[in-house]
């Protein structure tokens, strides 16, 4: 491609953005924002994403997946069958067609693929099956940020597996687990796999692939001693309990002590001797009728810990939760600042963290301003359902090996889910087994965000001059820069490289050397060939490798062979670092 004919252009000034990679992609002319969370891929960005898609496509086909394409627009009826039409909030794009039928802009395609599969699968002889697509999705995210990291319209690879039983699902799940590491390794992005919350997808087992970077919104908890890793939403840690004999409950005066800190200081007791009440209001939606109701959730946790909202929401089986207002707490017979479930009434649900359930003689609110109870004990003084609802954090004890845990921010670039029979049962996707019984198909779902992957690569591979993407995902392999007045030699080399199958970006513009070099560094093509008057007189071309700014020379008479050899070296460097991992 000749730069004089390129549709997009680079920017001289660095745009003000909320991440380094986002700024580089805009400045280098890869992407352009059209609206909040809505971006156009310009030619360079489009070529890079097509390379990412080619890697994904190859690895999916290697594990036996067939490519299909499902529509972005879905009839809402299939989403109503699973209940997600009602349970997903405003992030789901809903509209009516011209005759008043409810329609959906798909944010994922479990419903669509199950609707297809129920007509394709009739017998156990048809299983297992595995399909994938690379398709546009719409998710009306209320807080798009960091360019392609968090958008509303995006391209995703999503694959779906159909099996007779859990053993089959576990095999294809493991196949994806391994394939994903190969995909990310081939693009050059370092990732880790972490245990995750299945969220709106459903199912009991899921993993996320995380790129560790401060720009991420997810918090990853891990142990560098034994390898335990999980998203904080589901991360566990070892809680220590001290066995004690139950003591009689005692009401004590505690003026002006609405916080755990105030109470700990007044009573000269550690926070671990307090039972803290956290109040949320859960929304519960009937997935058949769409009817909605709310209920106060009273979370009881030890005073030295914090509630993890995703754990609490899952424990309560709530579609969503929000902080409760004082009047909502009072309606259930509890007093804000001095509250506990002791004597609570009305429409409330009590969920107790195991840190409280297995501790004795804790201080808790007396539901009276200025008073608390000493020596409260779960089951004796109040009841509730016991779950792990505590939020893990750095320094807590690893549940596997008892070493201190570490935390890091990360960006989710892929996920895999064992869905089980959630969708097949609701959408009547059954197969007939060997004995003639109708059995629900066992399903899995697996996703990779293509644009987000490019955004993370821009974060990982960039410096103060610009991008330096790996050759496997760079829009071109070679950047040919001519500083010669006459174009004959540069045109000849450009044509020879193209005939040899080399992807070349040729800077044939009438610009200064400084502008051309700055743009070459900004776009960051791995191999830059410069034709200058001095080097050409010596029958050589100067070559710069963007990855490390190393400068070497090629003989003009052997330039095609030298370029092909350099490309092989760059690709081998990536291949030598491919990570092969299987799920233990």
Length of the chain counted residue by residue: 584
Query: Which of the four pLDDT bands, split at 50, 70 and 90, describes residue 200?
Result: low
pTM of the model: 0.90
Q: Which CATH number fits domain 478-575: 3.40.50.800, 3.40.50.10860, 3.40.50.2020, 3.90.1520.10?
A: 3.40.50.800
Question: Could you write out the DSSP letters of every residue in 227-293?
Answer: --EEETTT---B-----------EEEE-TT--SHHHHHHHHT--GGGBEEEEEEEEEEE-TTT--EE
Query: What whole-number distance in Å separates Cα of residue 321 and Cα of residue 295?
Result: 10
Tell which residue, 73, 61, 187, has the closest CA to residue 132.
61
Instruction: Write down the CATH number for the domain with range 29-235+407-459.
Output: 3.30.930.10
Query: What whole-number distance in Å separates Cα of residue 230 and Cα of residue 237?
Result: 10
- Looking only at the bridges linking them, the beta strands covering 442-449 and 406-420 are antiparallel
Token pair for residue 571?
């690709």
Residue identified by tokens 């009590």 is: 350
pLDDT for 298-353, tens place per residue? 999 999 999 999 999 999 999 889 999 999 999 999 999 999 999 888 889 999 99
Query: Which of the four pLDDT bands, split at 50, 70 and 90, describes residue 287?
Result: confident
pLDDT for 436-465, tens place per residue? 999 999 999 999 999 999 999 999 999 999
pLDDT for 233-284, tens place per residue? 999 999 988 888 999 999 999 999 989 999 999 999 999 999 999 999 999 9
Alpha helices in 500-558 (DSSP H): 513-523, 533-537
Identical topology for domains 250-387 and 478-575: no
Indicate the domain borders of the chain.
Answer: 29-235+407-459, 250-387, 478-575
Q: Which CATH number fits domain 250-387: 3.40.50.620, 3.90.960.10, 3.30.930.10, 3.40.50.300?
A: 3.90.960.10
Residue 181, phi then psi, degrees to nearest 5: -65, -35
Tell which residue, 189, 410, 474, 573, has the closest CA to residue 466.
474
Does position 491 have pLDDT exceeding 70, yes or no?
Answer: yes
Question: Do 455 and 187 meet the contact criterion of CB atoms below 8 Å apart?
Answer: no
Does position 285 have pLDDT exceeding 90, yes or no?
Answer: no
Question: Do 528 and 544 meet the contact criterion of CB atoms below 8 Å apart?
Answer: yes
Residue identified by tokens 């106060």 is: 296
Residue identified by tokens 């891929």 is: 41
Diameter of the chain by CA atoms? 97
Mean pLDDT of 87-105: 94
Does position 140 have pLDDT exceeding 60, yes or no?
Answer: yes
Element (H, E) at 27: helix 20-27
Question: Do 456 and 189 meet the contact criterion of CB atoms below 8 Å apart?
Answer: yes
Residue identified by tokens 């001290």 is: 242
């Amino acid at each position: 491609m000749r730069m004089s004919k390129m549709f997009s252009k680079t920017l001289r000034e660095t745009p003000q953005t909320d991440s380094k990679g986002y700024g580089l992609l805009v400045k280098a002319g890869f992407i352009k924002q059209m609206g909040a969370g809505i971006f156009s891929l310009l030619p360079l960005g489009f070529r890079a994403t097509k390379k990412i898609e080619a890697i994904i496509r190859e690895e999916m086909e290697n594990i036996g997946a067939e490519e299909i394409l499902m529509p972005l627009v879905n009839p809402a009826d299939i989403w109503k069958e699973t209940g997600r039409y009602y349970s997903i909030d405003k992030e789901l794009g809903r509209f009516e067609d011209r005759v008043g039928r409810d329609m959906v802009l798909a944010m994922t395609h479990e419903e669509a693929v199950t609707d297809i599969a129920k007509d394709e699968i009739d017998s156990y002889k048809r299983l297992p099956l595995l399909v994938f697509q690379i398709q546009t999705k719409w998710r009306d995210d209320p807080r798009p940020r960091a360019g392609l990291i968090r958008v509303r319209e995006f391209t995703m690879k999503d694959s779906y597996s159909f099996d007779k039983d859990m053993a089959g699902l576990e095999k294809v799940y493991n196949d994806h687990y391994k394939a994903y590491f190969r995909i990310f390794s081939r693009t050059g992005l370092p990732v880790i796999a972490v245990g995750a919350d299945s969220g709106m997808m459903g199912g009991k087992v899921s993993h996320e692939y995380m790129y560790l970077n401060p720009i991420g919104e997810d918090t990853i908890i891990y142990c560098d001693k034994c390898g335990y890793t999980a998203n904080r939403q589901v991360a566990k840690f070892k809680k220590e309990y001290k066995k004690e004999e139950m003591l009689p409950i005692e009401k004590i005066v505690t003026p002006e002590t609405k916080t755990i800190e105030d109470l700990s200081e007044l009573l000269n007791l550690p926070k671990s001797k307090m039972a803290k009440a956290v109040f949320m209001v859960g929304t519960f939606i009937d997935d058949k009728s769409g009817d909605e109701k709310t209920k106060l959730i009273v979370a009881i946790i030890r005073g030295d810990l914090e509630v993890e909202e995703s754990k609490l929401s899952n424990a309560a089986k709530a579609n969503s939760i929000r902080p409760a207002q004082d009047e909502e707490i009072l309606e259930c017979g509890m007093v804000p600042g001095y509250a506990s479930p002791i004597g609570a009434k009305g429409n409330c649900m009590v969920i107790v963290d195991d840190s409280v359930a297995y501790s004795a003689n804790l201080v808790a609110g007396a539901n009276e301003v200025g008073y608390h109870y000493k020596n409260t004990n779960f089951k004796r003084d109040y009841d509730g359902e016991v779950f792990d609802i505590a939020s893990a954090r750095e320094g807590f004890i690893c549940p596997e090996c008892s070493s201190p845990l570490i935390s890091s921010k990360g960006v989710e670039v892929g996920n895999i889910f064992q869905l089980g029979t959630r969708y097949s049962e609701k959408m009547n996707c059954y197969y007939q087994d060997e004995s003639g019984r109708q059995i629900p198909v066992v399903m899995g779902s697996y996703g990779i965000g293509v644009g987000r992957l490019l955004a993370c690569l821009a974060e990982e591979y960039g410096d103060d001059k610009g991008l330096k993407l790996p050759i496997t995902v760079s829009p071109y392999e070679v950047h040919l820069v001519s500083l010669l007045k006459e174009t004959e030699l540069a045109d000849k080399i450009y044509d020879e490289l193209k005939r040899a199958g080399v992807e070349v970006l040729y800077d044939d513009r009438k610009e200064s050397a400084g502008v051309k070099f700055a743009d070459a560094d900004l776009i960051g093509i791995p191999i830059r060939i410069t034709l200058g008057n001095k080097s050409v007189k010596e029958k050589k071309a100067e070559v710069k490798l963007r990855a490390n700014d190393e400068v070497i020379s090629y003989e003009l008479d052997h330039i095609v062979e030298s370029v092909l050899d350099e490309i092989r070296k760059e690709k081998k460097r990536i291949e030598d670092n491919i990570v092969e991992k299987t799920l233990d």
